[in-house]
Every structure is written in C-alpha cells, then in structure tokens.
Structure 1
Amino acid sequence: MNLRIYLTAQWQDAASSCAWALLDDTGNVRESGSGTLASMPHSDDATVIVSSERVLATTAVLPRIKRSKLETALPFALEDALIDDVSEVHVTPGAKLQDGRTVLYTLNKNWLARFLAASTAAKVRVRHVVPEFCLLPTRAGEWSVAWDGAQGFLATTHSLGGALDSSDDAHAPVSLQLRLQQGAPAALRLFALGSEVQAPNWGLGVPVIYEKQTIDWRKAPIPGDVPNLLWGKLAPPPRISEFLPWLRPALMAALLLFGVEVGTSNLEWALLANEKRHLTHEMTETFQETFGSDATIVDAPLQMRRNLARLRHAAGLIDDADFSPMLDKFAAASGSVTGNTLRTLRYADGKLDIEMALTNAAALDKLQQRIAETGLTAQVMDKRDAGGALTVQLRVSAGGVK
C-alpha cells in the first residue's frame, strides 16, 4: 500500500487538514479522505503531492562546485528571483538542459521541515515529495494545462511548470498569457480537474486540444524522471531495497563463489572419504591375511596393534606400549621441563595416568611437545591452577607424532 497526501498552502501545523488517498500495488484507490496527519493510515512509504502554488520551478546556470557544497550554494543562484530570504528556501536540482542550464525547484524550507516533522510524529514516513504539475503528461513541443473552470496549473517541458492565476472560460489566465509571449508551444493540451469542466474559449492563437482524460492527484501515474524534492539534508534515509540494483551483481558473484567453495569442499571430502574407505579395506585384508580370515574385525588398526603387542611379548620382545619403554620416554621428555613435580603414576592397558605439578601453562605446552617427539601421545584429562602452580592429569599412550 502507498499513501498519497495532497499538501496545499493552507497547511500550517499538525492540526491542519490534508486530503489523502491509500493506493494498492496496482494503483487503485482503496481508501481516501481528509484530516490531520495523525488521523491518516500509518505508512512507511508515503508520497506527498505539493500544490503548484507552493513550488517555484525555474532554470539557472550553476557554478562548478563540489556536490557537498551544492545545497548551500543553490539558493544564491536564485537570489534575484526569490521573494523570501535565501536562508528560508529549500532548492532541489532537476534535469540539466542542453544549453547548460539546470532546472531548479524551490520550496519554503521551514514549512517543509515542519510538515516532515509532523508526519514522522504521526507515524507517516514520507519518501517522496513531488510537484503537482509534474503529474501532467506532456509531449514534445507541447504544453499541458490542468483546469477546473476557475484555476489550474501548467506543465511545460523538462518537468517545468507552475500554478495559474484565477480566470474564467472566456479569459485566459494572465500567467499563461505571459508565458506564451516568451515562447509559444505548438499546441496546448487541456486536462480537466473534475468531470463537469467545459473546454474554455480563450482565443490564445495557439491550438488547444481538449483531452477527455481528467487529472486526479490520487491516482495519476508519477513519471520516473520526476524530481523528488526531498533532497540534501531533507532526504529520507536510504532503504536496502534501493541498493539492490547495485548490490545484485556483487551478491550473484558472492553466491557463485560460495557455490564453488561448497562444491570444492564436498569434492575434497568425498575424495578423503573414499581414501579412508580404501585404507580401511586394505588394513582389513592385511589383518585377515595375518591373523586368519575368520577373525572378527571391529577396529582393524587397534586390533592390529594389540595382536602385534601379543606377538612381540610371546617372542620376548618389548612393545612400545609396555610400561618400561613408555616410562623411559616420559622421563626423558619431562626431564627437559624444569620445575615439574611428579605426584602419582599409574599404568594400565598400555596407558600411563600421571598427575604432576608444573610452573605454568607454557611448561605444559613444552611438556606435550617433548612427549610427542618421543613417539607418545599426551592427553590432558584435568587441569587446575592452585596457588601459582599448575596441577595437571595426563594420559600418555603410544602412537605420538615424531
């Protein structure tokens, strides 16, 4: 849903009324009414149509300055055309013309800021502010006029336009006559503001084409090149959806890289898993060839080590997991670490359970490294820091990395 608000010169503060309309995604009016901002439906995407009498549209040649300083400099470019002080106007740049001039739109800054503050307080977040005359469709070389029988507004070219003074069907508005004296178009297209408006007989010397189409600010399409008067310091904060056209290529590239990474990782995992199955199969075959094909195999490497230890013992040889070689290796490793105190030592099933005191964590890291260098593996089962000394419980077994 999109909320449209018609803002006229009569609006002064939050107690003032405005006409509003709630449009669905297809542009059809679902609800409409008139009231204060607080009485309107809450909206995060409101569009304000500013009456033509509140917007001054003109052109000027702008100096070449940085964009960061443009907002401050723009009012001075129109100083001779303004009635208000330059500090009281908000100027928005529009299209740049072929002759070097830039279209400029001027509003009273304090009035607009007051309206935006009241809108925010009423939970109506304004995203666009559009001049009313920009709703008029125009054609190349022609002007368009919206008329209700007594007053209206004009749209020329390049989204320029303005309000027309009061008149009647027999006399053209003075402001329109003055504009025609400066340069007449090939034709005037007249759009009615209401269903009972008759074609005026102005006798301007310019062909007037009466369009059957009426202009209704509530549902008139807003052209894509229409300027948003919320510019500079009054611009609304950007939304993520506005960056999607620029972010989409980067997101697609990131998604592609992620897919390649996932595919590569899965391929590597599949290769490693296949290699593991191949090695396990080879170890199983080797075990069966050595100890008989009728042997029950649960963990081939572990069973191989145990059977090998039994064979070594039967032959009178010492195995790496026996108490004596393990104790010798541990003693050699711990001897290189100063400040250690052995408290308890227990041997069972080819493992040494050791409790000892070390000076600090660095000594523990060094001890584990020295144990690994002897071909043993040291697993920390418990670790406590008591009174500046580190008490650790280690489980040492055969099978470390030299």
Structure 2
Amino acid sequence: MSVLRIFCPLATAPTTCGWVLLDDHGGIQPGEGALAQLPQGATRVQLVLAASQVLLVRAQLPAAGKRRSTALLAYAAEEKMASDPDANQVGWLSQVDGDDVLVAFNRQQLRGWIDALGAIGLHVDGVYCETLTLPIRRGEWSLAWNGQDGYVRTGEFEGGATDCGDRQTPPLALQLLLEEARTRDAVPTSIALHPATPAAQPDLDAWERSLGVNLRLAPAHDWRIAPAMTGPRVSQGGQHHWRPSPAAVARWRSVGWILLAALALHSIALLTDRVRLGGEQRQLHAQMEARFRALFPVAVAVADPVLQTRRQLAHARHAAGQSDAGDFPVMLGKAVAALSGVQGAKLHALSYEDGRLTLEFMDPGNTLARQIEGRLSQAGFDFEVPQTARRPGHDTLTLTLRSP
C-alpha cells in the first residue's frame, strides 16, 4: 500500500508543501513544491500538522460529555487557547491518569488545506500531529531540537511545541513541563534528544544541570523519512467526503463479482428447473389428452381431460342405469351420513348444480364449523368455503361440496 504524507503548515496558504511518498516496496521518495506537483495515485493520503499549530491539553470532562458534544470539547480547551473556541476543531484522544486528553487546531485552516488537496484529486484519509510522531519509551520523554526550538512528546497522547533555547540554555517550556511533572511525581528518568543536525546538538552537561534530568542522544527525527506513521490520528481528514480506499474497492469488487456469478448461476438453475417442470406438465397433459381420445374418440375438443373424463364416465353410468358419485342423491346421502353424529348442526338451505352440493348452516361457531368440515373431509368430499361464507353480521356457514 502506497502512502503520500504531506506536511501541512496550517498558518500558511495551501500552495506549496513538503511531502514524502512511501511506495509498496518500501521505497521513500521525498519532495517539496507546489500542490499541483504532488504525486497522484497513492493508496492513502496523510496530513502531518506542525507541532506549533496543534494543542494537546488535559481537561476534566463530565462522563456524559466524552466523545459526544463538540461544543463541550471546544469550551473545555478554551482556557488553554488564545482564539475563539468556535474557530477550533477539538477532539477527544484518550484518558490519562483520570484526565481527558484533548487535541485542538484551527478548523478553517485545516478545511482550506483539505479542500485544496481535494481540488487536485487527493483525498485526505487521516490527520496526524507532528508531536505525536516522535518515538517514545516508557518512563522517558522525547525532544526534537533544531538548535533554536523544537517539540517534545511527554506521553503517548501528550506533548507540544517548545519556545526558544540555545546551546547552553534549554527552552523554558521544557523546564515548566518538568516542574509540573514533579508536582505529580511523574518526572521522566531521561529525555531522548533528537537533534536535527550535528550542529544543533546542545551542551548536554549544561542542559542536564538546568533541567535536573539525564539526556540521551538519539537519531534525528524527521517525519519525511519515518518508515511508517506512529502516534494516534487526531482527525479523520475529509470525513464529510468519505470514500473507500482503492484496496477496499478492489476487495469488494471481487466479492461483488462472486455474488453476481452466484446470482447468475442461481437464476439459470431456476430458469432451467422451470422449463423442465413446464415440459413435464405439458407432457403429462398430452398423455392425459391421448388417453381421453383413446377412450372417447368421438370427442371434438379436449380442454380439461380430467374433468371431461369424469363427465363422460358419469354419462356412461347414467346410460347404463347406474348412479354416479356426483349425482344429487348419492352426494346428499353421503353428506347426511357424515353429519349424522354432529350435534348442533342446523341445515338452513341446500342446493345442487352440476355435481356441486351447497350446504348452508345456521352459524355454528368456530368449534362446530371445524367439526362439520372435518366430518365432510373424512367422508371423501372436496369442499370450498366462499369468501363471503362468514361475513360479519351473517349467521350462516356455507360449504360447497364436490365429489372426488
């Protein structure tokens, strides 16, 4: 995954900047120039804010306000800031020793940089503070020093820019931080000093006497050559214009193709099954039609072989002087025999037409209605209950019986 890291001095107009491109193979390509000349196509774009333009501050927040109200966070940091709280973007980073650690920077200045980068096709994925990119060990502070000023990291989520100093005198801000740490019994065992150049290295003995803390020389720290971004992210960047990373798009594109292929295979299987069932239905209908024509060759047209066979069979029985199961006397006899043991069933009306016997009962209630339907079903009747059989306000139950 390639990363384009851009140093963002908020106080200046978004026209030029320093940058570094970390490619997929671990290569590092630093550069500096106009925004329009920034490399394109990086997987992620990160902004690094100058230490002097970011405030990291401790505050006491009510439990219900943490990470929720931006207005509450802004006013909680107001005491430490010289500007209007409404002009700042304040976020909650973590909790240290019972205190809440907040990060604050100018909202409009950051938005100007994000919009300028967006205009050239670069989407900011995360915003980091230069202070929190310094490496740090447990029980030790880290100080980046250019010979005149610098920035110090005093904890995982704490630190800030220092004021001026010289070769013999450490910055006053660092001395004040140590005095405050002594009141909390949190003085570091040593301070790792990262001079920007050999010429920027101060007199270690003079600084140690002034600070009362041991100093340890460490390699120069530069965000440009850092192999990976360290420290917490202080903002989501262009969070109002979110877009997935190219890697996520590629991953979900593969998943989408798999789902699309599965859906296509499923649709083909359903279509094949429907065609097969349709063919079997037509074949079965053709067989029944052929059987009907073989039995009754004088028939002119065949629409429903089953119904027409039943009617022809009834006609043949009647011609032979025999009764059919669909005749009125036969159906009525079966219905009476089936309902003879049902107590409370009161027949209100009865009608017969073309093999259908319709019975209308005085409203028997749900229990007795289920009993009537069960007895008729056991007797071999097929029956249907019309939609209007149990209309509210009507006291009848209507059943239409058919002989199987």
Q: Same fold, TM exceeding 0.5?
A: yes
Distance in 2 between residues matched to 1:69 and 1:304, nearest whole Å = 74
Per-residue CA deviation, residues 28-79 of structure 1 (Å, 9 max, x unaligned), is 32352223x2332346732111111111111101124467861112121122
**Residue aligning to 2:225:** 219
Q: Quick one: structure 1 residues 300 and 8, their matched pair in 2 at CA, closer, same or farther if it must change by over 3 Å?
A: closer
Q: How does 1:131-142 map to 2 (within 5 A)?
A: 131-142=129-140
Distance in 2 between residues matched to 1:222 and 1:6, nearest whole Å = 14
Contact map agreement 1:9 1:53 (CA 8 A) in 2? no
What amino acid is aligned across from residue 239 of structure 2 in structure 1?
Answer: A
Distance in 2 between residues matched to 1:65 and 1:107, nearest whole Å = 23
Distance in 2 between residues matched to 1:102 and 1:148, nearest whole Å = 31
Per-residue CA deviation, residues 183-218 of structure 1 (Å, 9 max, x unaligned), is 22111112232466546411232121212x331212
Q: Quick one: structure 1 residues 104 and 179, their matched pair in 2 at CA, closer, same or farther if it must change by over 3 Å?
A: same
What amino acid is aligned across from residue 309 of structure 1 in structure 2?
Answer: R
Q: Quick one: structure 1 residues 167 and 25, their matched pair in 2 at CA, closer, same or farther if it must change by over 3 Å?
A: same
**Residue aligning to 2:172:** 174
Matched, 1:124 2:122: yes
Tell me by how many angstroms 1:82 deviates. Answer: 1.6
Distance in 1 between residues matched to 2:109 and 2:226, nearest whole Å = 25
Distance in 2 between residues matched to 1:87 and 1:63, nearest whole Å = 20
Contact map agreement 2:132 2:231 (CA 8 A) in 1? no
Q: How does 1:155-174 map to 2 (within 5 A)?
A: 155-174=153-172
Distance in 2 between residues matched to 1:311 and 1:86, nearest whole Å = 98
Q: Quick one: structure 1 residues 87 and 243, their matched pair in 2 at CA, closer, same or farther if it must change by over 3 Å?
A: farther
What amino acid is aligned across from residue 195 of structure 2 in structure 1?
Answer: A
**Matched residue SS, 2:233:** coil
Tell me by how many angstroms 1:167 deviates. Answer: 1.9
Matched, 1:209 2:216: yes
**Residue aligning to 1:235:** 239
Is 193-202 or 235-244 further displaced after alignment?
235-244
Matched, 1:8 2:9: yes
Tell me by how many angstroms 1:161 deviates. Answer: 0.9
* Structure 1 unaligned residues grouped into runs of 5+: 281-298, 330-401
Tell me by how many angstroms 1:136 deviates. Answer: 0.7
Contact map agreement 1:188 1:207 (CA 8 A) in 2? yes
Distance in 2 between residues matched to 1:186 and 1:224, nearest whole Å = 22
Matched, 1:89 2:88: yes
Contact map agreement 1:55 1:105 (CA 8 A) in 2? yes
**Matched residue SS, 1:118:** helix
Match of 1:321 among 294, 302, 308: 302
Distance in 2 between residues matched to 1:179 and 1:53, nearest whole Å = 16
**Residue aligning to 2:55:** 56
What amino acid is aligned across from residue 2 of structure 1 in structure 2?
Answer: V
Contact map agreement 1:43 1:125 (CA 8 A) in 2? no
What amino acid is aligned across from residue 207 of structure 1 in structure 2?
Answer: N
Contact map agreement 1:194 1:215 (CA 8 A) in 2? no
Distance in 1 between residues matched to 2:202 and 2:220, nearest whole Å = 12
Matched, 1:147 2:145: yes
Q: Quick one: structure 1 residues 179 and 94, their matched pair in 2 at CA, closer, same or farther if it must change by over 3 Å?
A: same
**Residue aligning to 2:104:** 106
- TM-score when normalising by structure 1: 0.59
Q: Quick one: structure 1 residues 31 and 222, their matched pair in 2 at CA, closer, same or farther if it must change by over 3 Å?
A: closer
**Residue aligning to 1:368:** none
Tell me by how many angstroms 1:179 deviates. Answer: 0.9
Aligned length: 288
RMSD: 4.5
Q: How does 1:225-264 map to 2 (within 5 A)?
A: 226-230=232-236, 235-240=239-244
Q: Quick one: structure 1 residues 9 and 117, their matched pair in 2 at CA, closer, same or farther if it must change by over 3 Å?
A: closer
**Matched residue SS, 1:165:** coil
Contact map agreement 2:133 2:230 (CA 8 A) in 1? no
Distance in 1 between residues matched to 2:241 and 2:131, nearest whole Å = 26
Distance in 1 between residues matched to 2:292 and 2:58, nearest whole Å = 97
**Matched residue SS, 1:41:** coil
* Structure 2 unaligned residues grouped into runs of 5+: 182-186, 312-403
What amino acid is aligned across from residue 302 of structure 2 in structure 1?
Answer: A
Tell me by how many angstroms 1:17 deviates. Answer: 2.2
**Matched residue SS, 2:118:** helix
Distance in 2 between residues matched to 1:303 and 1:189, nearest whole Å = 95
Q: Quick one: structure 1 residues 235 and 318, their matched pair in 2 at CA, closer, same or farther if it must change by over 3 Å?
A: closer
Contact map agreement 1:43 1:123 (CA 8 A) in 2? no
Tell me by how many angstroms 1:242 deviates. Answer: 11
Contact map agreement 1:138 1:155 (CA 8 A) in 2? yes
Tell me by how many angstroms 1:114 deviates. Answer: 2.2
What amino acid is aligned across from residue 225 of structure 2 in structure 1?
Answer: K
Matched, 1:190 2:193: yes
**Matched residue SS, 1:80:** helix
Contact map agreement 1:230 1:236 (CA 8 A) in 2? no
Distance in 2 between residues matched to 1:147 and 1:39, nearest whole Å = 30
Contact map agreement 1:142 1:185 (CA 8 A) in 2? yes
- TM-score when normalising by structure 2: 0.58
